[in-house]
Structure 1
Amino acid sequence: MSQAVSISALSKRDTQVSILIIGFMFFIFGFVSWVNAILIPYFKIGCELSNFQAYFVTFAFYISYFVMSVPASFLLKKVGFKRGMMMGFWLMSLGAFIFLPASMTRTYPIFLFGLFTLGAGLAILQTAANPYITVLGPQESAAQRISIMGIFNKGAGVLAPLVFAAVILKATDSDLFKNLANMSGEARNAALDELVGRVTVPYAIVGSVLFLLGLVVRYSPLPEIDTDAESEELAMVNSSKHNIFQFPHLILGALAIFLHVGTQVIAIDTIIGYAGSMNIPLMDAKVFPSYTLLATIAGYILGIIFIPKFISQVNAFRICTILGTLFTLGILWAQGEVNFMGHQVDLSICFVVLLGLANSLIWAGIWPLALDGLGKFTKLGASILIMGLCGNAIMPLFYGYFADLYDLRSAYWVLFPCYLYLVFYSIYGHKIRKWIF
């Protein structure tokens, strides 16, 4: 493990190179993560699943964050950022290769195990990359740097469903999906085997690329930085702190991350199914997640332009949480129809897209507030926040359950209390430094 250096010791060029490398990593994170938006309806058809069962795609992928985040922090302390990132890429590579036997046998639990392994590798990378980019410059502009990372991440998310759909779906699949119910058992199984088997080659390529990326990052010029450095004043303040649970603003921030990522993944991963309820076929609806992600990118660009010059990152955070609350009510209560990308749809789907804008600066707002003043506890604190990403695993299951129980639109009620809590954290929760009990 190479010697860690302080942020102040990095030159402007070192900082710019580091931001570029971490940005490339966020692109990979986004590509691997947001392809789930197309995997959900794909496996729902190919493996003959209910809404609830199909959302185990996100559960398997993101529950690994809860399992792996704290071990990842200890791994990073032991081997350093660069070796840890290499191991994260290699674990992701293994997860991609697990898709091969799963696709050959059309076995949904094996697919889920592959997704869990992919997520475990990504948890290591996220535990390293998020605190790294947060401390790589002044705290007041952390949201600006995180917004740049978000553009890399969501830009990949725009591409991922489109590229994946182009590779595994054919123009004739619309007829196949319509005729499946009328096929005999043997013909149906053969058609589904062929459909699911199409992921074999793409994931073999993905696994190989991820393995090579691990080597590239390991031998890149990315410096090892000391994310746990603390001033004498901060060291004195934290001298009585012996465990991570003595930082209420961090624990409340982890819950905020849990709810935020849950709302984000619901907005992106459910829109194809919601469009389907309006009689929009999968072949057309496959691009809808990209619209939500483009709205998120628009929010990131606004953040880069206006933070901190015209608006503080905490006020931008507050505005976005309030918008999320209002857009959720728009999904639930909006009446009428509009022409959306050539389709006559319910107005409410436009508010699902707009959630992308509302969600854009929430992640960037939470991180610097939650990590503020942690000092030597920063790596462990980051792992606690990354554990919150299991919200991506759990919240879609609630949505899927209520979608089966009621309907796809009513299920969006699960977002409302989430945004109310985020409003609370943005205004008051991040200021709490002592538990009241």
Structure 2
Amino acid sequence: MRMEVATAKVKGPLLLVCMVFFVLGFATWVNAMLIPYFKVACQLTNFESYLVTFAFYISYLVIALPAASLLQRIGFKRGMTVGFLLMSAGAFVFVPAAYLRAYGVFLTGLFIIGIGLAILQTAVNPYVTLLGAKERAAQRISIMGICNKTAGIIAPLLLAAAIIKPGDTALFASIHEMGLAQKNEVLNMLVKRLILPYVLVGSVLCILGLLIRFSNLPEPPEHASSKHSRGILQHPSLVLGAVAIFVHVGSQLIAVDTIVNYAHTSGLSIPEAKVFPSYTLFTTICGYLLGISLIPWAISQQTALKICTLLGIILSGMVVNLSGTVHLLGHTTDISVWMLVLLGFANSMIWAGIWPLALDGLGTRVKQGASLLIMGLSGNAILPLLYGHLADAGSPQKAYWVLMPCYLFLTYYAFYGHRIKRWA
């Protein structure tokens, strides 16, 4: 029997899940600051620096199906505990990585954090979809998105405050002029600044895992199975939804995690550009709030999805083609940087729109369906890396052409793809 969000029995678990989404956002969006910092501290190319997102998110492709099996055996609550403890272990890997100044070890830590995050995502997203009326699923997911993106605004700023010191602008600019011994000394000092923040993060994640384990979080209800059960890949709306998740999360991450480097190429220093991921996530929160206020009484969640995908096509074209210096919020930079910020608004209701459409009609196969959608999060690993390659090969601005086919497919799914019930 479906439970309404208004009941106290549902509100309690959803409040706890809000906390989980906040932690997910903190762990995810802090990478927006790690990428430019590693680029300086480990002396990387654009392509090499975006291996941060590759190592972090390729784990979703590796672990999503095993995560579904794990949740099937031990349940959602214990699965979340395992996810938190794995993320904690990955954070602690940053300690030896910093002492060795070994970029590969940092990437290993990020991969382990990603595995834990994938398990959490596989558990909490169907949780939010199933706890309440289907037509309000996008509204509930949007509330979780606000928690996620609020953490995303805070995380890069907190990490930047911990690892970027006064005078670093001049220091970063002079590294290439230093002798080998002095350069190694400075670079070692820079990477060791990451130790304390990640020890604290690892400790907090461990505590949260134990809190979840001993909480009263219930297992979410599942929809009844349909009479004629089909294999999970025989649901076109689910399979196409996984592709939609792939291109959506990849394009969203490009908008957030590349903006510091891109603003830097447009004339801003890294300490000044560090606030731009927060600007992008703020516009996403504005979209969430608008969606929550309008869905479902004014517009349906499908209509919100259509509007956002079309807006994504328009803004991605403007990012690539517009140029000209503007003065806004105390920054002097290219107008295309601000178009990238506005992409956060376009991305706001896409995730929330895809999940209920993709999981509709799966019955008791929801866990398997969720794991397939979570595999789509590997788009975060592939698409930013593709952007980094194109930026190295040509222009960082023209490399944003990679966004256009993403939003075209999302528009196809919003208008037509989700309605396909059988493969031709």
Instruction: Please indicate the TM-score interval, normalised by the length of the shorter structure.
Output: over 0.9
Q: Does 1:178 align with 2:178?
A: no
User: Paired residue for 1:353, among 325, 337, 341?
Assistant: 341
Equivalent residue number for residue 392 of structure 1: 380
**Cα distance in structure 1, aligned partners of 2:190 and 2:284:** 32
| 1:76 aligns to 2:81 (yes or no) | no
Q: Which runs of 5+ in 1 are unaligned?
A: 1-5
2:226 matched residue in structure 1: 235
* Cα offset, 1:9, TM superposition: 9.4
Instruction: For residue 335 of structure 1, report the CA deviation from its aligned partner.
Output: 3.5
Equivalent residue runs for 1:187-336 within 5 Å:
187-227=182-222, 229-230=223-224, 235-236=226-227, 238-239=228-229, 241=230, 243-336=231-324
* Aligned equivalent of 1:337, options 303, 320, 325: 325
Deviation >4 Å, runs of 4+ = none
Q: 1:138 to 1:68 in 2, by over 3 A?
A: same
Instruction: Give the Cα separation in 1 of the matches to 2:358 and 2:169.
Output: 47
Letter in 2 for 1:235: S
Tell me, yes or no, if structure 1 residue 371 matches structure 2 residue 359. yes
Q: Give the Cα separation in 2 of the matches to 1:142 and 1:397.
A: 32
1:131 to 126, 132, 136: 126
- Number of residue pairs matched by the alignment: 424
Structure 1's 347 and 11: CA in aligned 2 closer, same or farther, altered over 3 A?
closer
State how far apart, in whole Å, the 2-side matches of 1:120 and 1:336 are: 42
Counterpart AA for 2:394: Y
Listed one character per residue, the Cα deviations across residues 196-222 of structure 1 (whole Å, up to 9, x for unaligned) are: 001111111111111111110111121
Return the letter of the residue paired with 1:415: L
> How far does residue 235 in structure 1 lie from its aligned partner after superposition?
2.0
Structure 1 vs Structure 2: percent identity of aligned residues? 54
How far does residue 343 in structure 1 lie from its aligned partner after superposition?
2.5
2:266 aligns to what SS in structure 1?
coil
Q: How far apart are residue 262 of structure 1 and its match?
A: 0.4
Alignment TM-score, normalising by the size of structure 2: 0.98
- How far apart, CA to CA, are the structure 1 residues paired with 2:4 and 2:147? 26
Unmatched segments (≥5 aa) in structure 2: none
Quote the offset at 1:341 in angstroms. 2.5
Name the amino acid aligned to 1:258.
F
Q: Alignment partner for residue 28 of structure 2, among 18, 28, 33?
A: 33
- Alignment partners' CA distance in 2, 1:21 and 1:201: 27
Partners of 1:341 and 1:272 in 2: CA distance: 16
Q: What secondary structure, in the 3-state scheme, does the structure 2 residue paired with 1:344 have?
A: strand
State the shift of 1:11 in Å.
8.1
CA contact (8 A) 2:163 2:194 kept: yes
- More deviation in 188-197 or 203-212? 203-212
Q: Quick one: distance in 1 between partners of 2:192 and 2:5?
A: 48
CA distance in 1, matches of 2:194, 2:36: 14
Letter in 1 for 2:301: Q
Q: Which residue of 2 aligns with 1:404?
A: 392
Deviations 1:139-190 (A, max 9, x none): 1000000000000000000000000000111011111101111111000000
Give the Å deviation of 1:347: 1.2
- Do 1:31 and 1:157's aligned partners in 2 also have CA atoms closer than 8 Å? yes
1:323-372: CA deviation from partner (whole Å, max 9, x where unpaired): 00000111112233211232222111111000000000000000000000
Give the alignment's Cα RMSD to 1 decimal: 1.1
1:425 aligns with 2:413: yes
CA distance in 2 between counterparts of 1:44 and 1:357 reads 28
2:226 partner letter: A
- The residue matched to 1:335 in structure 2 has which SS? coil
In structure 2, give the amino acid aligned to 1:118. I
**Which amino acid in 2 is paired with 1:289?**
P
Instruction: For 1:67-106, list aligned pairs within 5 A.
Output: 67-106=62-101
State the one-letter code of the partner of 1:403. Answer: A
Instruction: Quote the residue 2:15 is aligned against.
Output: 20
The residue identity in structure 2 corresponding to 1:294 is F
**Aligned partners of 2:180 and 2:44: how far apart in 1?**
16
SS of 2:355's equivalent in the other structure is helix
Any residues of structure 2 matched to 1:99-114 within 5 Å, and which?
99-114=94-109
* Secondary structure in structure 2 of the residue aligned to 1:339: strand
- Aligned partner of 2:368 among 367, 371, 380: 380
Asked if 2 retains the 8 angstrom alpha-carbon contact of 1:7 and 1:225, the reply is no
Secondary structure of the structure 1 residue equivalent to 2:327: strand
Q: 1:146 aligns with which of 134, 141, 147?
A: 141
My pick for the range that moved more, 328-337 or 14-23, is 328-337
Alpha-carbon distance in 2 for matches of 1:416, 1:116: 28
Tell me by how many angstroms 1:34 deviates: 0.2
- Which residue number in structure 2 is paired with residue 120 of structure 1? 115
Paired AA for residue 374 in structure 1:
L
The answer to whether the Cα contact below 8 Å between 1:37 and 1:270 also exists between their aligned partners in 2 is yes
Aligned counterpart, 1:45 = 40
Alignment partner, residue 3 of structure 1: none
